[in-house]
């Protein structure tokens, strides 16, 4: 059985991610902004575990990290967890141009949350599928939002209002699973 946790630290420097996580989890979180060595790996679980262990070695308190991957079907699921470097270097416009040379515009985003309390590591994932438009669309949101149209919608994340986007995010699904775990194990309620 788990011991009750008074504070869970979200390892992030992104205030928007912190605000969204607090809203979904229903608790106030402490945050810890640190630069972690992000290993170059195709397995997002290994990347997330590596980040959690690095953070644990610095703060020695229960924590979680969030890592996101983006899988482009026609590129054999590349770039996966390497998305941050890929979209910065290649650009969203070029990603659309590359995908336009294929018939398959399917895309999938996955969020992995890794919780670590010094003894046990737990993973929670969320996934959303969609398509890539022929060119980036919209000017709101984060990172690759202009090239992701969730299944069943016609607008990219970047064209949608924030109230609609959050309900369609893979990190919302992962955070809800994490929240349920915390409740079931009475870690903060």
Residue 1 in this model has a pLDDT that exceeds 50: no
Residue 5 in this model has a pLDDT that exceeds 70: no
Question: How many other C-beta atoms lie within 10 A of the C-beta of residue 28?
Answer: 10
Confidence band (pLDDT; 50, 70, 90) for 55? very high
Q: What is the predicted pLDDT for the residue at 158?
A: 95
Confidence band (pLDDT; 50, 70, 90) for 2? very low
Q: 121 forms bridges with which residues in the sheet? A: 116
Q: Mean pLDDT of all residues in the chain?
A: 92
Cα–Cα distance, 39 to 92 (Å, whole number) = 23
Q: What angle do CA 126, 14, 53 make, to 5 degrees?
A: 65
- Mean pLDDT of the 166-188 span: 92
Q: Are 139 and 158 in contact (CB under 8 A)?
A: yes
Domains and CATH numbers, the chain: 9-184 (3.90.950.10)
Task: Give me the count of residues in the chain.
Answer: 189
What does the radius of gyration of the chain's CA atoms come to, in whole angstroms? 17
């Amino acid at each position: 059985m788990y011991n009750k946790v008074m504070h869970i630290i979200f390892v992030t420097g992104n205030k928007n991610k912190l605000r969204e996580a607090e809203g979904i989890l229903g608790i106030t979180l402490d945050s810890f902004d640190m630069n972690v060595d992000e290993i170059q790996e195709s397995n997002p679980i290994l990347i997330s575990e590596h980040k959690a262990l690095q953070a644990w070695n610095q703060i020695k308190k229960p924590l979680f990290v969030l890592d996101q991957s983006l899988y482009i079907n026609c590129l054999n699921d590349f770039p996966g967890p390497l998305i941050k470097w890929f979209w910065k270097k290649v650009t969203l416009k070029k990603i659309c141009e590359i995908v336009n040379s294929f018939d398959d515009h399917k895309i999938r985003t996955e969020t992995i949350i890794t919780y670590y309390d010094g003894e046990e590591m737990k993973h929670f994932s969320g996934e959303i599928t969609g398509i890539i438009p022929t060119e980036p669309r919209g000017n709101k949101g984060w990172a690759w939002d202009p090239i992701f149209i969730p299944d069943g919608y016609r607008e990219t994340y970047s064209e949608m209002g924030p109230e609609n986007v959050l309900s369609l995010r893979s990190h919302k699904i992962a955070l809800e699973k994490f929240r349920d775990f915390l409740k079931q194990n009475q870690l903060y309620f």
